[in-house]
Structure 1
């Protein structure tokens, strides 16, 4: 086993190893291919006669009651809210601006009313919580567990997969699972670090561990293309695949239960778990972690109830029927250029819709447990991720009318689209309300509407009814949090793990206040994302920052200075118009004026740890860390201390002949270069290496792109290997004189 020393506070059970007679790291990095065809689907042509017939029709129970409560209740609440809003503005007649305000209110209110009705269903069902099914005695089929990675710290992802592997082995059913790292890494230093980490994990786990590593030279299609490449090349060997993210953790019993559920349900296409956020320390991430743990199960249970077998897929911590996925989930490129065309960014929703269109079930198991993930550590990191998600979700407007989709799949698309459109809609509603008040105070009001009337129309509101409607709206917004709190009181594990009744209330109140301050900032950020995409700017795909490091203060100021300016402008304008308007807008104005301070404070790890020690925002998984999370954290620290992440690819390849030999063997076979076709990067890299007298010269002269070319080319690797070190070059004349 590698010399990985664990500090006393990081003690973890040793990896299970079997004595090996040969070095397992010498074996090929991937198994023999077992190909599956994965054709791109036509979104607008579908013959319903091709939809498969259920093999287990008794499992296809439509959740009529849950859907009636969710959609019927949501519609009834929206109708009531629209009627009350009309009564609010119908004092002295309705002007054009008031009609606009009413329309915006109905759009926004309908979404929160639907969410509220769904949470009512989830709340009732969670009070009848059932324990997970027992572990199966055996499994009949093979499952691949795949982890796509893209420029991630190897110590984190290799520690996570090793931990999951060990936990599955502990169930006694590990022989039914193979394990894949699917790398799309473009950073040459991380690429070589991944290969070193892969050699290390094979040696630690022994030859019986079927752990594989594949790196794509071109990350076509991004994560969806990464999974497609795996399915096309090795999917034929596996009935199912469990898809992870780079920050995923799943307990062994959870993975085994998912595989058993797939075997027991021949019509299942995707089974999605509910990942809980763990291991977060910044204040911002801890707020997300608490909200996901306390309120998330209510929301997820409501969704699961009305979706039934017409559910959705979130792209990770789920099990998929491999052949069905290959036959029906190949993604086409959308016509046109990004951001509206090109590769589908939010691929998971579309894959769920396509596999459901083919006749397979997609459903969620929100109470299975043992499924974990991490979250971005700061508001700025969330905004970077949100920009990509926003583009992907808005792209769904072009998939919404695809032929043959189940209505529930279209609803999932609408949910994703409106998840981002609500921000500009709320902002518009706010601005229209301010304009109406401003008009009444400083300008001649719109006394006469478009219709002929004998008397003028004065822009007035029913103040008492307006307050009642505001109270109703806030109650609907906060109800899911109250439902989550009540469920937490009801469940002993959650109640005790979160610090008891009193601390749960304190944490909930703090989360509500901080979320209220963050809401206007996120509203402007998401509105900016929407406008960014509407005006045709592509977001790209940056790797996500997963550590708990603080954001530099100048970056925070640069990101939020316009939010503060808008908040101050709103404050001054509000006082000029009406002090009561300032009181009404105070949460919005306060959030914007304090945006820089809020973003800075919530990104601080030390402040999050202060709240953690005080027991505020505590979760059961934090109070009693799951063994799998404890083991993964300890192993990740040990790998990082052993230098798994800190590597210069040229120095590593030059100084380790064993690593260099394996790296060259694992490179794909290239076609001979055609005459006249010369890559600029390769030509420059070759020239610099030829000029270099030492490996240190090459390291100093070659940029990142050129280093990537070098370690992808066996001839250039050979040139690097022949370069001496600077110390060796200096000692050569002395050794020659000594020999004379």
Structure 2
């Protein structure tokens, strides 16, 4: 750190009110529709809440009619054909139930299909950048927020250092401040974060521009972390951008976002399309290939018909601070977990509330330079999905909120449907098996009713029509993949980056095959999660694994044995009924029966790297990575292989043997509790009681819980006691061993 720059962990407070929003009534308008913005800033005023946004594309009603209306027409046609399949001579209760499931699931697929068609047209016409505002450097200051929760500190700071160096390279360092907002609950990781923050400041010349704050009380999780920053520092920054722990963004992309927001005062949020990169395991490489080839098509499609009523994915998005503070204060949902309490999947809700408050929400899928990473294995995806599933199911309590735009409600329904459809698919499959069993083992009633009919009613299902319904449904699922491939083929650089025509085709076939086998595994996992959540089991809040996807085989067997058993039973049952039923069920049966080897093999780094070497599942960003991504990956690799000569046994020893770190830690401690004002900290009181009677640091440190360790490390007198115990353990005469030597 520069000797002439004083250590400044945080800037001066700039409070901004962030009132909690009501779901039962809309908040009062804070500016009249014709109110001019204050002369000192065009960024801090509320736009009109009715009428067309100046930033909105034209003909939005027609666009939505084409996409939604087209999906409705297709669903109606599919429902009619399925009815003819199931009810040639009358519908049984099972057939009616299966038809209802089919209509709901087909509507989901049809909407995705029509949206993909819109995306295909938008990509070919190079849409998706209509908010772009070319020009010089922006005129306002932006905060880059990095919320972190028990993540690898070196990994987090590697990305931030790469971004900061890129910003400095464009001469824009004075326009961006970086905040590391820690909600970490692991005391060892917390102290490592502080050290990584100091190193980052030294390496970038960042004191006064790069800040760090640790929040000991993790109220409302990530949403509460961001809200705390807004209420404490938000007034100093017209806009802020939220990064994820694996996020990297190009400097020119950041500047383009800020210019776009400055040029469109009605915009409250601009979401980029993060491209998945950095995949090493087979699973992660499949995810990044699918995201690179199909993702832009999907993003362009939803941007085309969402318009100014877009969505928010929680990171890699620029947000107008006043819009967020005014409208995005999340209420606490009534009831107990998993549906009550703090909102977990907050991003959809925040976008819906900002749009309700009169702010435009846009996506810019054509703006390149936004990157993220994928979970490394099917198991890690399941862990993340379990948390997201609970958060999305909470949206059912927000759906009836007053004043939400129709498209915002569709976003919420989409979030719910992304998990509810899994048990619906499972029910659909099981219902089909039951209908087959009924036809095979239950004698039909050829003369129902009074039995006086002259002609029998044959229990027939139209097999030819059933085949065409199946083919049509598969076409709706596969055509968007082919369209994604065509959009890549249309651009020479993208085509070469994906391995040319043969490499792209081979990758598409491989990804489709493995993804098809994994689909029933994910379906059953999500179905189990939905049932567990509906039964009241909270998912908790766990840090996400982001590197190696390797998992011991016994753990894979333990997690996926139910999938294997169900797959084998379905296969046996289908074969007992009919070989034709067994053939129809084969993709589902194979996927479930092979769940264990699928999960184990796709988590292997060696297999993913072998496919990369032969040109499969490649993406342009790994063939010719942008400089910021290359730099972030190099910094992460360097920090991962740097040897630790004498790793500290615990965070107290780490502080004791690093005077600069200890001094910075003391300076970053929260203010002491105010008697009779602040609530008692039970963890701190318990920790102090144990420290008072302790004679050995190792013993008391092992006895303290994580919450108690965080509490005593956050308290000045308790920290002094910890350091005294550490010195006593290091040297009987009371000096650190290094000093004694």
In the superposition, the TM-score normalised over structure 1's length comes to: 0.91
Write out aligned runs for 1:430-441 (5 A): 430-441=429-440
Give, in angstroms, the shift of residue 247 of structure 1.
1.1
Query: Structure 1 445/29 Cα, relative in aligned 2: closer, same or farther at 3 Å?
Result: farther
Q: Could you tell me how far apart the structure 2 residues matched to 1:373 and 1:329 are?
A: 25
From 716, 719, 733, the counterpart of 2:718: 716
Query: Structure 1 590/203 Cα, relative in aligned 2: closer, same or farther at 3 Å?
Result: same
**2:247 alignment partner in structure 1:** 248
Write out aligned runs for 1:306-385 (5 A): 306-385=305-384
SS at match of 2:180: strand
**1:44 alignment partner in structure 2:** 24
Give, in angstroms, the shift of residue 94 of structure 1.
1.7
Q: Could you tell me how far apart the structure 2 residues matched to 1:531 and 1:452 are?
A: 44
Give, in angstroms, the shift of residue 93 of structure 1.
2.0
**1:16 alignment partner in structure 2:** none
SS at match of 1:350: helix
Query: Structure 1 489/207 Cα, relative in aligned 2: closer, same or farther at 3 Å?
Result: closer
From 65, 68, 77, the counterpart of 1:68: 65
Q: Could you tell me how far apart the structure 2 residues matched to 1:679 and 1:218 are?
A: 10
Give, in angstroms, the shift of residue 320 of structure 1.
0.5
Matched, 1:500 2:500: yes
Q: Could you tell me how far apart the structure 1 residues matched to 2:728 and 2:247 are?
A: 41
Q: Could you tell me how far apart the structure 2 residues matched to 1:233 and 1:679 are?
A: 22
List gaps (5 residues or longer) in structure 2: 34-46, 736-741
Write out aligned runs for 1:117-132 (5 A): 117-129=114-126
Q: Could you tell me how far apart the structure 2 residues matched to 1:697 and 1:407 are?
A: 59
Query: Structure 1 697/37 Cα, relative in aligned 2: closer, same or farther at 3 Å?
Result: same
Write out aligned runs for 1:445-464 (5 A): 445=444, 454=453, 457-464=457-464
Q: Could you tell me how far apart the structure 2 residues matched to 1:477 and 1:685 are?
A: 57
Q: Could you tell me how far apart the structure 2 residues matched to 1:646 and 1:160 are?
A: 24
Does the Cα contact within 8 Å between 1:436 and 1:459 map onto a contact in 2?
A: no
Give, in angstroms, the shift of residue 610 of structure 1.
1.0
Query: Structure 1 687/89 Cα, relative in aligned 2: closer, same or farther at 3 Å?
Result: closer
**1:6 alignment partner in structure 2:** none
Query: Structure 1 309/452 Cα, relative in aligned 2: closer, same or farther at 3 Å?
Result: farther
Q: Could you tell me how far apart the structure 2 residues matched to 1:727 and 1:359 are?
A: 61
**1:413 alignment partner in structure 2:** 412
**1:478 alignment partner in structure 2:** 478
Does the Cα contact within 8 Å between 1:48 and 1:404 map onto a contact in 2?
A: no
Give, in angstroms, the shift of residue 462 of structure 1.
0.6
SS at match of 2:240: strand
Q: Could you tell me how far apart the structure 2 residues matched to 1:162 and 1:451 are?
A: 82
Matched, 1:298 2:301: no
Give, in angstroms, the shift of residue 134 of structure 1.
7.3
Q: Could you tell me how far apart the structure 1 residues matched to 2:184 and 2:474 are?
A: 45
**1:488 alignment partner in structure 2:** 488
Query: Structure 1 158/94 Cα, relative in aligned 2: closer, same or farther at 3 Å?
Result: same
From 652, 655, 660, the counterpart of 1:653: 655
From 81, 85, 96, the counterpart of 1:84: 81
Give, in angstroms, the shift of residue 696 of structure 1.
4.7
| 1:539-595 CA distance string (max 9 Å, x none) | 111111111240121111111001000011111111111111110000000001100
| 1:492-532 CA distance string (max 9 Å, x none) | 11100011000100000001100110000011011111111
Question: Which is further off, 226-235 or 408-417?
Answer: 408-417
**2:44 alignment partner in structure 1:** none
Q: Could you tell me how far apart the structure 1 residues matched to 2:460 and 2:265 are?
A: 62
| 1:638-672 CA distance string (max 9 Å, x none) | 33445799652111122223322221221112226
**1:667 alignment partner in structure 2:** 669
Q: Could you tell me how far apart the structure 2 residues matched to 1:151 and 1:679 are?
A: 22
Give, in angstroms, the shift of residue 92 of structure 1.
2.3
Matched, 1:59 2:55: yes
RMSD: 2.6
Write out aligned runs for 1:680-699 (5 A): 682=684, 685-686=687-688, 689=691, 695-699=697-701
Give, in angstroms, the shift of residue 447 of structure 1.
5.9
Does the Cα contact within 8 Å between 2:551 and 2:603 map onto a contact in 1?
A: yes
Q: Could you tell me how far apart the structure 2 residues matched to 1:224 and 1:448 are?
A: 63
List gaps (5 residues or longer) in structure 1: 2-19, 733-740
| 1:422-478 CA distance string (max 9 Å, x none) | 111111111111111101111234667899994664432111111111110000010
Q: Could you tell me how far apart the structure 1 residues matched to 2:305 and 2:553 are?
A: 45
Q: Could you tell me how far apart the structure 2 residues matched to 1:600 and 1:400 are?
A: 39
Give, in angstroms, the shift of residue 44 of structure 1.
1.2
From 721, 727, 732, the counterpart of 1:729: 732
Give, in angstroms, the shift of residue 297 of structure 1.
0.5
Query: Structure 1 701/48 Cα, relative in aligned 2: closer, same or farther at 3 Å?
Result: closer
Give, in angstroms, the shift of residue 198 of structure 1.
1.1
Query: Structure 1 85/668 Cα, relative in aligned 2: closer, same or farther at 3 Å?
Result: same
Write out aligned runs for 1:606-617 (5 A): 606-617=606-617
Does the Cα contact within 8 Å between 1:507 and 1:617 map onto a contact in 2?
A: yes
Question: Which is further off, 71-80 or 584-593?
Answer: 71-80
**1:8 alignment partner in structure 2:** none
| 1:292-346 CA distance string (max 9 Å, x none) | 0000100110000000111111110000010111011100011111111111111
Does the Cα contact within 8 Å between 1:397 and 1:417 map onto a contact in 2?
A: yes
**2:12 alignment partner in structure 1:** 32
**1:600 alignment partner in structure 2:** 600
**2:91 alignment partner in structure 1:** 94
SS at match of 1:729: coil
Query: Structure 1 196/91 Cα, relative in aligned 2: closer, same or farther at 3 Å?
Result: same
**1:394 alignment partner in structure 2:** 393
Give, in angstroms, the shift of residue 728 of structure 1.
3.0
Query: Structure 1 449/116 Cα, relative in aligned 2: closer, same or farther at 3 Å?
Result: farther
Q: Could you tell me how far apart the structure 2 residues matched to 1:102 and 1:207 are?
A: 62
Give, in angstroms, the shift of residue 49 of structure 1.
6.5
Q: Could you tell me how far apart the structure 2 residues matched to 1:49 and 1:375 are?
A: 40
Q: Could you tell me how far apart the structure 2 residues matched to 1:350 and 1:394 are?
A: 12
Q: Could you tell me how far apart the structure 1 residues matched to 2:230 and 2:260 are?
A: 21
Query: Structure 1 680/602 Cα, relative in aligned 2: closer, same or farther at 3 Å?
Result: same
Query: Structure 1 354/674 Cα, relative in aligned 2: closer, same or farther at 3 Å?
Result: closer
Q: Could you tell me how far apart the structure 2 residues matched to 1:51 and 1:439 are?
A: 65
Q: Could you tell me how far apart the structure 1 residues matched to 2:450 and 2:204 are?
A: 80
Q: Could you tell me how far apart the structure 1 residues matched to 2:721 and 2:378 are?
A: 46
